[in-house]
Protein backbone atom coordinates (compact mmCIF):
# COMPACT_ATOMS: atom_id res chain seq x y z
CA UNK A 1 0.00 0.00 0.00
CA UNK A 2 1.38 3.40 -0.94
CA UNK A 3 1.12 6.49 1.22
CA UNK A 4 -1.45 7.88 -1.15
CA UNK A 5 -3.52 4.69 -0.98
CA UNK A 6 -3.34 4.87 2.79
CA UNK A 7 -4.74 8.38 2.73
CA UNK A 8 -7.55 7.25 0.48
CA UNK A 9 -8.48 4.35 2.76
CA UNK A 10 -8.54 6.20 6.07
CA UNK A 11 -8.26 9.55 7.75
CA UNK A 12 -4.69 8.65 8.70
CA UNK A 13 -1.85 8.32 6.17
CA UNK A 14 -0.53 4.77 6.58
CA UNK A 15 3.17 4.67 5.72
CA UNK A 16 4.33 2.01 3.31
CA UNK A 17 7.33 0.55 5.14
CA UNK A 18 10.33 -0.06 2.91
CA UNK A 19 11.24 -3.09 4.99
CA UNK A 20 9.90 -6.44 3.76
CA UNK A 21 8.23 -9.05 5.94
CA UNK A 22 10.76 -11.84 6.65
CA UNK A 23 10.77 -14.93 4.44
CA UNK A 24 7.85 -17.14 5.48
CA UNK A 25 9.65 -20.23 4.22
CA UNK A 26 11.97 -20.27 7.25
CA UNK A 27 11.30 -20.19 10.97
CA UNK A 28 11.56 -16.58 12.07
CA UNK A 29 12.79 -15.73 15.59
CA UNK A 30 11.14 -12.50 16.76
CA UNK A 31 12.49 -10.74 19.87
CA UNK A 32 9.84 -9.31 22.19
CA UNK A 33 10.06 -5.85 23.70
CA UNK A 34 7.38 -5.40 26.37
CA UNK A 35 6.81 -1.77 27.36
CA UNK A 36 5.66 -0.72 30.83
CA UNK A 37 6.03 2.92 31.90
CA UNK A 38 8.25 3.41 28.86
CA UNK A 39 10.72 0.75 30.03
CA UNK A 40 11.59 -2.68 28.67
CA UNK A 41 10.22 -5.28 31.09
CA UNK A 42 9.10 -8.90 31.27
CA UNK A 43 6.09 -10.21 33.18
CA UNK A 44 5.71 -13.63 34.76
CA UNK A 45 2.55 -15.36 33.45
CA UNK A 46 1.14 -11.97 32.54
CA UNK A 47 1.12 -10.74 36.14
CA UNK A 48 1.73 -6.99 36.29
CA UNK A 49 2.77 -7.37 39.93
CA UNK A 50 5.58 -9.67 38.83
CA UNK A 51 7.39 -7.47 36.36
CA UNK A 52 11.15 -7.27 35.96
CA UNK A 53 12.77 -4.28 34.30
CA UNK A 54 15.59 -5.20 31.94
CA UNK A 55 16.38 -1.82 30.44
CA UNK A 56 15.15 1.74 30.89
CA UNK A 57 15.93 2.43 27.21
CA UNK A 58 13.83 0.23 24.87
CA UNK A 59 15.39 1.88 21.79
CA UNK A 60 18.80 0.58 22.83
CA UNK A 61 17.28 -2.88 23.29
CA UNK A 62 15.68 -2.75 19.84
CA UNK A 63 18.97 -1.78 18.22
CA UNK A 64 20.76 -4.59 20.04
CA UNK A 65 18.37 -7.25 18.75
CA UNK A 66 18.56 -5.92 15.21
CA UNK A 67 22.36 -5.84 15.39
CA UNK A 68 22.25 -9.49 16.44
CA UNK A 69 20.22 -10.42 13.39
CA UNK A 70 16.54 -9.89 14.20
CA UNK A 71 14.47 -9.32 11.06
CA UNK A 72 11.33 -8.24 12.93
CA UNK A 73 10.48 -6.91 16.40
CA UNK A 74 7.43 -7.70 18.52
CA UNK A 75 6.39 -4.74 20.68
CA UNK A 76 3.76 -4.97 23.42
CA UNK A 77 2.22 -1.93 25.08
CA UNK A 78 1.48 -3.43 28.50
CA UNK A 79 0.12 -0.17 29.84
CA UNK A 80 -2.14 0.03 26.81
CA UNK A 81 -3.41 -3.52 27.26
CA UNK A 82 -4.42 -2.69 30.81
CA UNK A 83 -5.85 0.77 30.06
CA UNK A 84 -7.74 -0.25 26.91
CA UNK A 85 -6.00 2.26 24.65
CA UNK A 86 -2.40 2.77 23.45
CA UNK A 87 -0.16 4.42 26.06
CA UNK A 88 3.45 3.94 24.99
CA UNK A 89 3.20 5.55 21.56
CA UNK A 90 6.30 7.69 22.12
CA UNK A 91 8.48 4.66 22.86
CA UNK A 92 6.96 2.72 19.97
CA UNK A 93 7.59 5.52 17.48
CA UNK A 94 11.16 5.95 18.75
CA UNK A 95 11.84 2.25 18.19
CA UNK A 96 10.29 2.24 14.72
CA UNK A 97 12.42 5.21 13.69
CA UNK A 98 15.59 3.69 15.15
CA UNK A 99 15.59 0.30 13.41
CA UNK A 100 15.53 -0.90 9.82
CA UNK A 101 13.28 -3.92 10.31
CA UNK A 102 9.46 -4.11 10.45
CA UNK A 103 7.75 -3.93 13.84
CA UNK A 104 4.48 -5.47 14.94
CA UNK A 105 2.67 -3.96 17.93
CA UNK A 106 -0.03 -5.14 20.30
CA UNK A 107 -1.69 -3.80 23.42
CA UNK A 108 -4.82 -1.71 23.92
CA UNK A 109 -5.99 -1.32 20.32
CA UNK A 110 -9.73 -1.77 20.65
CA UNK A 111 -11.09 0.60 18.02
CA UNK A 112 -10.31 1.69 14.49
CA UNK A 113 -8.79 5.01 15.52
CA UNK A 114 -6.20 3.32 17.75
CA UNK A 115 -5.24 0.82 15.06
CA UNK A 116 -4.87 3.49 12.37
CA UNK A 117 -2.87 5.73 14.70
CA UNK A 118 -0.42 2.95 15.57
CA UNK A 119 0.06 2.03 11.92
CA UNK A 120 0.60 5.71 11.19
CA UNK A 121 3.69 5.63 13.43
CA UNK A 122 5.34 3.40 10.85
CA UNK A 123 4.42 0.12 12.52
CA UNK A 124 4.03 -2.63 9.92
CA UNK A 125 1.39 -4.78 11.65
CA UNK A 126 -1.14 -4.20 14.42
CA UNK A 127 -2.03 -7.02 16.81
CA UNK A 128 -5.60 -7.20 18.09
CA UNK A 129 -6.61 -9.21 21.14
CA UNK A 130 -9.56 -8.24 23.32
CA UNK A 131 -11.50 -6.76 20.41
CA UNK A 132 -11.36 -10.11 18.60
CA UNK A 133 -13.52 -11.59 21.34
CA UNK A 134 -15.73 -8.60 22.02
CA UNK A 135 -16.13 -7.09 18.52
CA UNK A 136 -15.23 -9.68 15.86
CA UNK A 137 -17.07 -7.70 13.18
CA UNK A 138 -14.68 -4.79 13.74
CA UNK A 139 -11.73 -7.13 13.20
CA UNK A 140 -13.18 -8.13 9.85
CA UNK A 141 -13.61 -4.49 8.87
CA UNK A 142 -10.01 -3.67 9.85
CA UNK A 143 -8.66 -6.68 7.96
CA UNK A 144 -10.44 -5.43 4.85
CA UNK A 145 -9.21 -1.86 5.32
CA UNK A 146 -5.62 -2.75 6.17
CA UNK A 147 -4.97 -6.03 4.33
CA UNK A 148 -1.97 -7.98 5.57
CA UNK A 149 -1.46 -5.59 8.48
CA UNK A 150 -3.83 -7.09 11.06
CA UNK A 151 -2.72 -9.95 13.28
CA UNK A 152 -4.78 -11.46 16.08
CA UNK A 153 -3.18 -12.38 19.36
CA UNK A 154 -4.88 -15.30 21.09
CA UNK A 155 -3.75 -15.58 24.69
CA UNK A 156 -5.15 -18.66 26.40
CA UNK A 157 -5.55 -20.06 29.89
CA UNK A 158 -6.43 -23.74 29.89
CA UNK A 159 -7.61 -23.45 26.30
CA UNK A 160 -9.84 -20.41 26.86
CA UNK A 161 -9.09 -16.90 25.64
CA UNK A 162 -7.95 -14.25 28.13
CA UNK A 163 -8.73 -10.59 27.46
CA UNK A 164 -8.06 -7.08 28.77
CA UNK A 165 -4.36 -7.49 29.38
CA UNK A 166 -4.87 -11.08 30.57
CA UNK A 167 -6.84 -9.77 33.53
CA UNK A 168 -10.04 -11.57 32.46
CA UNK A 169 -10.72 -15.03 31.01
CA UNK A 170 -13.59 -15.50 28.56
CA UNK A 171 -15.59 -18.62 27.76
CA UNK A 172 -14.32 -18.57 24.17
CA UNK A 173 -12.16 -21.51 23.09
CA UNK A 174 -8.83 -20.55 21.51
CA UNK A 175 -9.26 -22.87 18.52
CA UNK A 176 -12.74 -21.52 17.73
CA UNK A 177 -11.53 -17.91 17.88
CA UNK A 178 -8.58 -18.74 15.64
CA UNK A 179 -10.90 -20.22 13.03
CA UNK A 180 -13.20 -17.20 13.17
CA UNK A 181 -10.34 -14.70 12.85
CA UNK A 182 -8.82 -16.60 9.92
CA UNK A 183 -12.18 -16.45 8.14
CA UNK A 184 -12.39 -12.71 8.81
CA UNK A 185 -9.06 -12.11 7.10
CA UNK A 186 -6.40 -11.96 9.83
CA UNK A 187 -2.92 -12.24 8.33
CA UNK A 188 -1.54 -14.44 11.13
CA UNK A 189 -2.40 -15.70 14.59
CA UNK A 190 -0.08 -15.20 17.54
CA UNK A 191 -0.76 -17.92 20.10
CA UNK A 192 0.37 -17.50 23.69
CA UNK A 193 -0.10 -20.03 26.46
CA UNK A 194 -0.28 -17.73 29.48
CA UNK A 195 0.80 -20.45 31.88
CA UNK A 196 4.06 -20.73 29.91
CA UNK A 197 4.70 -17.02 29.29
CA UNK A 198 7.73 -15.74 31.15
CA UNK A 199 8.26 -19.12 32.84
CA UNK A 200 10.90 -20.49 30.44
CA UNK A 201 9.27 -23.92 30.72
CA UNK A 202 9.11 -24.49 26.97
CA UNK A 203 6.31 -23.84 24.45
CA UNK A 204 3.02 -25.73 24.64
CA UNK A 205 3.50 -27.85 21.52
CA UNK A 206 0.19 -29.67 21.87
CA UNK A 207 -1.85 -26.47 21.92
CA UNK A 208 0.18 -24.96 19.08
CA UNK A 209 -0.41 -28.07 16.98
CA UNK A 210 -4.15 -27.89 17.65
CA UNK A 211 -4.33 -24.23 16.65
CA UNK A 212 -2.18 -24.66 13.54
CA UNK A 213 -4.18 -27.64 12.27
CA UNK A 214 -7.45 -25.75 12.73
CA UNK A 215 -6.56 -22.84 10.42
CA UNK A 216 -4.87 -22.20 7.08
CA UNK A 217 -3.02 -18.99 8.00
CA UNK A 218 0.41 -18.92 9.71
CA UNK A 219 0.79 -19.23 13.47
CA UNK A 220 3.38 -17.42 15.58
CA UNK A 221 4.36 -19.29 18.74
CA UNK A 222 4.73 -17.21 21.87
CA UNK A 223 5.55 -18.01 25.48
CA UNK A 224 7.85 -20.37 27.32
CA UNK A 225 10.91 -20.58 25.06
CA UNK A 226 13.86 -21.21 27.36
CA UNK A 227 16.53 -22.66 25.07
CA UNK A 228 17.50 -23.24 21.48
CA UNK A 229 16.28 -26.80 21.95
CA UNK A 230 12.80 -25.36 22.53
CA UNK A 231 13.04 -23.48 19.24
CA UNK A 232 14.23 -26.61 17.45
CA UNK A 233 11.20 -28.45 18.82
CA UNK A 234 8.96 -25.99 17.00
CA UNK A 235 10.39 -27.09 13.65
CA UNK A 236 8.22 -30.21 13.94
CA UNK A 237 5.20 -27.90 13.61
CA UNK A 238 6.58 -25.81 10.76
CA UNK A 239 4.91 -27.91 8.06
CA UNK A 240 1.45 -27.33 9.54
CA UNK A 241 1.86 -23.57 9.78
CA UNK A 242 3.92 -22.57 12.82
CA UNK A 243 6.26 -20.22 10.99
CA UNK A 244 7.65 -17.92 13.70
CA UNK A 245 8.51 -17.84 17.39
CA UNK A 246 8.50 -14.86 19.72
CA UNK A 247 11.26 -15.02 22.30
CA UNK A 248 11.29 -12.84 25.39
CA UNK A 249 12.80 -13.52 28.80
CA UNK A 250 15.32 -16.10 27.56
CA UNK A 251 17.19 -13.60 25.37
CA UNK A 252 17.24 -11.06 28.20
CA UNK A 253 18.67 -13.50 30.72
CA UNK A 254 21.17 -14.88 28.21
CA UNK A 255 19.75 -18.41 28.28
CA UNK A 256 19.27 -18.00 24.53
CA UNK A 257 21.73 -16.07 22.39
CA UNK A 258 19.75 -14.47 19.59
CA UNK A 259 22.43 -14.95 16.94
CA UNK A 260 22.59 -18.68 17.68
CA UNK A 261 18.81 -18.97 17.76
CA UNK A 262 18.54 -17.44 14.29
CA UNK A 263 21.30 -19.71 13.02
CA UNK A 264 19.57 -22.74 14.52
CA UNK A 265 16.13 -22.34 12.97
CA UNK A 266 16.43 -19.55 10.39
CA UNK A 267 18.17 -19.13 7.06
CA UNK A 268 20.96 -21.71 6.65
CA UNK A 269 19.88 -23.41 9.87
CA UNK A 270 21.56 -26.39 11.45
CA UNK A 271 20.40 -29.74 10.18
CA UNK A 272 20.18 -33.05 12.04
CA UNK A 273 22.88 -32.61 14.71
CA UNK A 274 23.90 -29.10 15.83
CA UNK A 275 27.62 -28.31 16.02
CA UNK A 276 29.63 -28.44 19.22
CA UNK A 277 29.17 -24.95 20.65
CA UNK A 278 31.08 -25.40 23.87
CA UNK A 279 29.62 -22.99 26.43
CA UNK A 280 26.90 -21.65 24.12
CA UNK A 281 23.24 -21.27 25.05
CA UNK A 282 22.27 -24.50 23.28
CA UNK A 283 20.83 -26.73 26.00
Residues marked active site are found at 34, 155
What one-character DSSP code corresponds to residue 11? S
Q: Are 191 and 219 in contact (CB under 8 A)?
A: yes
Half-sphere exposure in the Cβ direction for 89 (13 Å, CA)? 14
Strand partners of residue 190: 153, 220
Q: Cα-Cα-Cα-Cα dihedral of 118, 48, 281, 264, to 10°?
A: -40
Going through the chain in order, the beta strands assigned E by DSSP cover 28-36, 39-44, 47-55, 73-77, 103-106, 125-128, 150-157, 160-163, 168-173, 189-193, 219-222, 242-247
Q: Are 226 and 204 in contact (CB under 8 A)?
A: no
Q: Are 153 and 127 in contact (CB under 8 A)?
A: yes
Amino acid sequence: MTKEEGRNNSQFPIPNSQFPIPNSQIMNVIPAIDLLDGKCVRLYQGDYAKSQTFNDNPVAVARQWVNEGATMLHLVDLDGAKAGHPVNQAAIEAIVRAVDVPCQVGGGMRDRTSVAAILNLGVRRAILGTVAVEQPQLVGELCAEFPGQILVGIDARNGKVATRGWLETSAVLATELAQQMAELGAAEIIYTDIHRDGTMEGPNLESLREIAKAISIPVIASGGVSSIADLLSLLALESIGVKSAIVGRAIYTGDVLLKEAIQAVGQGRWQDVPPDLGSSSFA
